[in-house]
Amino acid sequence: MKYKILYMFLLLLLFRSNNIISQEIDTTSTEALFDLTLEDLMDIEIVSAVRQNQNIIDAPSIVSVITEKQIKERGYLSVDEALSSIAGYDVITDHFQPNLGIRGINGGLRTWSRLVKVMVDGQSVSFRSSSNNFLDASLIPIEVIEKIEIIRGPNSALYGKNAFLGVINIITKSGSTLQDNAISHYIADINDNSSFGISTIWGGEKEKFDFVFASSYSQIDNSGLALTNVPGSEIYSEDDISKKNEANPLSIFFKLTYENDKFGKIILDGTQQIINSNAEFLDWGALTHKNNISLLNSYERLSYNKYIFENLNTTLTVSRATGKPLKDEVFETNTDPSEWIEREVSYTGYDVTGNLSYNFDEINNFSIGIDYTTDIHDHQKFYTVNSAGTKILNPGGTDGKDQFNNLGIYLQMIFNASEFFGVNYLKNLTLTAGYRFDYHNIYGDVLTYRIAAVYHLTNDISTKIMYGTSFNAPSSVQLYTNYIYPGGIVGNPSLKPEKAKTLEWALMGKITESVNFSTNVFYTEIDDKIEYLLPYGQITNITAENVSNIYSGGIEAELNASLFQNTAYVNYSYQKSILEKNDPLLQEIKVNTALYPNHIIKFGDIYHLPKFYLNINLEGKYISSRIASDQNNFVYDPINYATNRYKLDPYLLLDLTISSTDLNIFKDSKAKLSLKLQNLLDTKFNYPGFNNYDIPGVGRSIYFRFTQNI
């Protein structure tokens, strides 16, 4: 399979070389494809930091941006791949879903990236029953992404619950910005297993209407991976491998826009996300070969935007979100074919938001907003089903209110200190203040706020200091679920929101037109952190409790450069996080947090070869050692597991992508080819597991992708 992919790629490049000889080459347009300035990185406008357009160096937040161009040149196929390049972010996986950690903290068992708020054009896309964010290829077709704005740090003062340690806002293309309709295919060799994917995008504009539609479907096979024993344990042999570790993510996105100068702008958009995975490495039933997690997660939204007066803008949105399992979902906790586990869980959510924003001038701005959310839940319940058709509700869990209502009101003011205070020497200082009050019928009311100061040292360099608070609301699953298997997780209706406060300082800007940098120092305190308590004493099941506090500090530094024919980046993050909690045996303890490495180095370089219509991209990341999960350390040392803990080995991963620019394989239409070697060095490494094993990473894999404009 690997050699077939290489052969096909070389054959198509040879075909293109022969084709180039017989046609005139537009040198000017070709070189334009390799504009090596950093304008799209440092002068780019973002919308997520303050809900309105703002230059990235003026934003009162630590912001990184991944552009459409970077996604294409680096060969990313999903959002989690793109996020893996960002400083301060660490992505681990159980080969069901990525689990995003940030700044020294990972949510842990079954949390799947719930520490951040993930949005598409400002609309939350979490599976609301659990607040999990599914970041794999099912999230959104990668071709429809214009850019991804990543904010590190709290943002509940603007976005409310679950904008806890960061915000990820995926900005989509419109028909007017779509260069060409296209269909894209890829085939891959992953662990000597064949995989493939197909995606489409098309759209355009006509008169006052604008439309874009995108879809993607993949079949990914990670079979053949062997479990890694906890040190000192010999539970699994080399024959214990995944035999049916397949995933079939499907994603659909659409957006229809009508804009009229008198009427304003109205947008109808939506997504449908289908998660479908055999999930061989989950804590309740590893290598049963029969697990199949299948979920639908979607939203539809209607938005209206208009300038009532020249400087007064209003936005109104109404949306509906739904999520539920599909018919083919089944949980297997053992290899007994006579019984299995089924679950019931679903939600229907309705959001109504309104925002008024008044611009005094290009800088000074005042915004007020209100939003109301109601989520109607069918709380998660697991049933044991046998071959005779008998269905019995598993013990544990509690009943609770099935309707979650939240009312949020927020205020934000951005003002230039010189004009506000009448002091001329403060003309380069911009202040931002935001406050938000949330009232929820389950967990009560929460007040969050943030203040920030941005000072321009020069036109191209700014320094920032920010302080903000945030909260992470307990989900329906955390509050009320019953267990999958005896000793497994049960809900706790007494959970309180996790709360955080963060202080940040940053310095960023351009060193030259070809080099920019960003560096920041942060300190975060988290109160009432939810931890899963292991069974001990009178407790018979794993239970979520607000039992710990976390103190996390660190530094993040990024450097981007475009020199000669290279576009390169390197970033480094160091984080030190201390967890403080009461242990049943040791009483109050302070230990390093688990699951997250102290040191992360990421780098990449794209070498442009315009004469040969090629880009060569090499990306890498070094991940230092990390402490294994509490669940595995309980296996490692059942008595002193809280303090006597083992670590997973550090590792270095390299990816190589060779991609073409526009080719004329078929007459009057452009095409692109790419070949990606993932884990180029075939590094052996492990992700943290949550039962009695750690999870193997994928070895060297080959992806061949072909995109044809239509």
CATH number of the domain within which 507 lies? 2.40.170.20
Q: How many domains does the chain have?
A: 1
Tally Cβ neighbours within 10 Å of residue 165: 29
Q: Is the dihedral of CA 542, 126, 291, 100 positive or negative?
A: negative
* DSSP code at position 628: P
Confidence of residue 11 (pLDDT cuts 50, 70, 90): very low
Residues pairing with 543 in the sheet:
490, 533
8 Å CB contact between 131 and 120 = no
pLDDT exceeds 60 at position 20? no
| pLDDT at position 385 | 95
Average pLDDT over residues 593-602: 97
Q: Is 322 helix (H, G, I), strand (E, B) or coil?
A: strand
Q: Where are the beta strands (DSSP E) in 476-586?
A: 489-490, 498-512, 515-533, 542-563, 566-583
Tokens 């639908």 sit on residue: 296
| pLDDT at position 386 | 93
Sequence-ordered alpha helix ranges (H) in 357-444: 417-421
pTM of the model: 0.94
Amino acid at 706: F
Show Cβ contacts of residue 221 under 8 Å, excluding neighbours closer than 6 positions. 190, 191, 193, 194, 195, 245, 246
- Dihedral, 142, 148, 151, 152 alpha carbons, nearest 10: 50
Q: Is the dihedral of CA 159, 165, 166, 167 positive or negative?
A: negative
pLDDT digits (tens, 9 = 90+) for 56-99: 999 999 999 999 999 999 999 999 999 999 999 999 999 999 99
Six-digit token string for 187: 């085939």
pLDDT digits (tens, 9 = 90+) for 504-515: 999 999 999 899
- The phi and psi torsions of 51 (rounded to 5 degrees) equal 65, 25
Q: What length is written for the chain?
A: 710
- Which uninterrupted H or E stretch holds 104? none
What separation in angstroms does the CA of 444 have from each of 93, 480, 500?
34, 17, 17
Confidence of residue 14 (pLDDT cuts 50, 70, 90): very low
Confidence of residue 253 (pLDDT cuts 50, 70, 90): very high
Domain that holds residue 380: 2-709
Counting beta carbons within 10 angstroms of the beta carbon of residue 256, is it exposed (0 to 12), middle (13 to 18) or buried (19 or more)?
middle
pLDDT digits (tens, 9 = 90+) for 540-595: 788 889 989 999 999 999 999 998 899 999 999 999 999 998 876 777 899 999 99
Average pLDDT over residues 480-485: 94
| pLDDT at position 536 | 58
Q: Which residue has the higher pLDDT, 538 or 127?
A: 127
Counting beta carbons within 10 angstroms of the beta carbon of residue 454, is it exposed (0 to 12), middle (13 to 18) or buried (19 or more)?
buried
pLDDT exceeds 60 at position 380? yes
pLDDT exceeds 70 at position 33? no
pLDDT exceeds 90 at position 665? no
Express as a percent the part of the chain with pLDDT over 70.
93
pLDDT exceeds 50 at position 28? no
| pLDDT at position 494 | 94
- Which uninterrupted H or E stretch holds 70? helix 68-74
pLDDT exceeds 70 at position 39? no
* DSSP code at position 426: G
Q: Up-side HSE of residue 347: CA atoms within 13 Å toward CB?
A: 30
Distance CA 430, CA 420 (A): 10
Average pLDDT over residues 18-25: 38
pLDDT exceeds 90 at position 158? yes
Nearest to 495 by CA among 518, 516, 517, 475: 475
| pLDDT at position 584 | 67
| pLDDT at position 15 | 44
Nearest to 243 by CA among 291, 276, 195: 291
Please list, residue by residue across 374-401, b when 16 or more beta carbons sit within 10 angstroms of its beta carbon and e when fewer do.
ebebebbbbbbeeeeeeeeebebbeeee
What separation in angstroms does the CA of 339 have from each of 330, 333, 383, 394, 508?
11, 9, 10, 13, 58
Q: Where are the beta strands (DSSP E) in 178-263?
A: 182-190, 193-206, 209-221, 228-229, 246-247, 250-260
Show Cβ contacts of residue 405 under 8 Å, excluding neighbours closer than 6 positions. 372, 373, 374, 375, 440, 441
| pLDDT at position 41 | 54
Nearest to 166 by CA among 551, 462, 470, 496: 470
Sequence-ordered alpha helix ranges (H) in 308-460: 417-421
Confidence of residue 2 (pLDDT cuts 50, 70, 90): low
pLDDT exceeds 90 at position 670? no
What separation in angstroms does the CA of 389 have from each of 341, 383, 384?
12, 11, 10
Distance CA 456, CA 36 (A): 25
Please list, residue by residue across 197-215, b when 16 or more beta carbons sit within 10 angstroms of its beta carbon and e when fewer do.
bebbbbbebeeeebbbbbb
pLDDT digits (tens, 9 = 90+) for 285-323: 899 998 999 999 999 999 999 999 889 999 999 999 999
What separation in angstroms does the CA of 348 have from each of 190, 273, 638?
37, 15, 42
Sequence-ordered alpha helix ranges (H) in 595-689: 630-636
Show Cβ contacts of residue 94 under 8 Å, excluding neighbours closer than 6 positions. 279, 281, 282, 687, 689, 690, 695
Show Cβ contacts of residue 258 under 8 Å, excluding neighbours closer than 6 positions. 208, 209, 210, 265, 266
| pLDDT at position 36 | 38
What separation in angstroms does the CA of 442 have from each of 155, 220, 473, 501, 551?
21, 39, 10, 22, 27
| pLDDT at position 127 | 98
pLDDT exceeds 50 at position 31? no
Q: Which residue has the higher pLDDT, 692 or 244?
A: 692
With helix as H, strand as E and coil as C, how does 527-539 read?
Answer: EEEEEEECCCCCC
pLDDT digits (tens, 9 = 90+) for 527-537: 999 988 876 55
Tokens 């069918």 sit on residue: 378
| pLDDT at position 539 | 56
8 Å CB contact between 230 and 694 = yes
